[in-house]
Amino acid sequence: MSIETDIKQKKFRSPFQKLALNLVYTTKWLEYKQLESFKEHDITPQQYNVLRILRGQQGNPIKVSDITERMLDKSSNTSRLVDKLLAKNLAKRTSCESDRRAVDVVITEEGLELLKVLDPFIEDWENRFNIISEEEAEQISALLDKLRENENQA
């Protein structure tokens, strides 16, 4: 369905306004889809994001502040997210020797297993994107990058 139908708005001030609304709307849609897979496994999208980052470390520990840097939502409270993973035995936390302010986080075997269970679900809805071509996907990505370019202007 077109964004016009979805939010029942016939006219937009500009193609840019329409795009802005469409971005927010499509992302909410996407997050909602993801949520459906996540909630049966008692994990939030944010926690999943952290788990993925931890797995990406391939066994190496990573500091909380470095996790934040890699997150999609950098304003989130990584400290408490890690707490949640800890409580579920999906991650381990050890104090960092070289900098005693910092804390090293590693994914546990159980965390890796959970990701393995979730992977097919995630791939599944990513594959729905096949409705557009790989080139089109790359092209949108490039344009989105461009949109964020003048972040520190204005």
Residue 132 contact among DNA, its own copies, none, beta carbon within 5 to 8 Å by kind: its own copies
CB 6 within 8 A of CB 22: no
Q: Which listed option, DNA, its own copies, none, makes contact with residue 120 (CB within 5 to 8 Å by class)?
A: none
The dihedrals phi and psi of 78, each to the nearest 5 degrees, come to -60, -35
Residues forming the site for its own copies (CB under 8 A): 1-3, 6-9, 13-32, 56, 69-75, 123-132, 134-138, 140-141, 143-151, 153-154
Q: Is residue 80 near DNA by the rule CB under 7 A? A: yes
Residue 42 vs 124, nearer CB to DNA: 42
The verdict on 118 binding DNA (CB under 7 A) reads: no
The CA–CA distances, whole Å, from 63 to 21, 77, 83 equal 35, 14, 14
- Which listed range, 6-14, 65-73, 112-120, 145-153, lies at the site for DNA (CB under 7 A)? 65-73
Cα–Cα distance measured from residue 133 to residue 12, given in angstroms and rounded to the nearest whole number = 27
In sequence order, the 6+-apart residues with CB closer than 8 A to the CB of 36 are: none
| Burial tier of 78 (Cβ tally within 10 Å: 0-12, 13-18, 19+) | buried
**What are the tokens at 123?**
């791939």
Choose between 20 and 96: whose C-beta lies nearer to DNA: 96
* 63: partner contacted, choices DNA, its own copies, none (Cβ within 5-8 A by kind): DNA
Residues of the shown chain interacting with DNA in the complex, contacts defined by CB under 7 A: 35, 39, 44, 46, 63-66, 68, 73, 75-84, 93, 96, 99-103
